[in-house]
Amino acid sequence: EVHQVESGGGLVQAGESLRLSCKASGSTFDDDALAWFRQAPGKEREKVACFTLHDGSTFLADSVKGRFTVSRDNAGNTVYLQMSSLKPEDTAVYYCKEGLCLTSDDGWEFEAALGSWGQGTQVTVSS
């Protein structure tokens, strides 16, 4: 069962911005956090951001720090990934997933909740 749906992808030029949306399939999200991942062709899925739903704490991958931010709508059932200063290397299929942000002195990891991943949304950045 898929618990979240991604949207908002598209084709943009380098330097432009894009906002992705992750909408809960129910009235709200069930878990403590929502993470964004991406997967480029021929590469493994990599973490992008983790957002704790109760207080808005955000953890970002080094590759997107200073360019990407995460926010939540007032209704609480949609989380956004705002991407700015996009680069061709940001090209990937982006996924969101409910779960838990795990932090340590070494950084952060994500523990995904049970359930299937969605189909993702394609982001293509041309040079």
Is the pLDDT at 31 greater than 90, yes or no? no
Short-list 45, 44, 24, 43, CA closest to 34: 24
Beta bridge partners of 98: 34
73-102 pLDDT per residue, tens: 988 789 999 999 999 999 999 999 999 999
Residue 89's φ and ψ, nearest 5 degrees, are -75, -5
pLDDT digits (tens, 9 = 90+) for 110-119: 999 988 899 9
What pLDDT score does 11 carry? 98
% of the chain at pLDDT higher than 90: 78
Q: How far, in Å, CA of 115 to CA of 127, rounded?
A: 36
- Which carries the bigger pLDDT value, residue 74 or residue 52? 52
HSE value, Cβ hemisphere, 13 Å, CA-based, for 2: 11
Locate 113 and state its tokens.
């909740």
Nearest to 97 by CA among 27, 26, 24, 39: 24
pLDDT at residue 1 in the model:
74
Backbone dihedral angles phi then psi of residue 114, each to the nearest 5 degrees: -65, 155
Average pLDDT over residues 18-41: 91
Which amino acid belongs to residue 14?
A
Answer yes or no: is pLDDT of 120 > 90: yes
122 backbone dihedrals φ, ψ, rounded to 5°: -80, 130
Specify the pLDDT at position 74.
Answer: 80
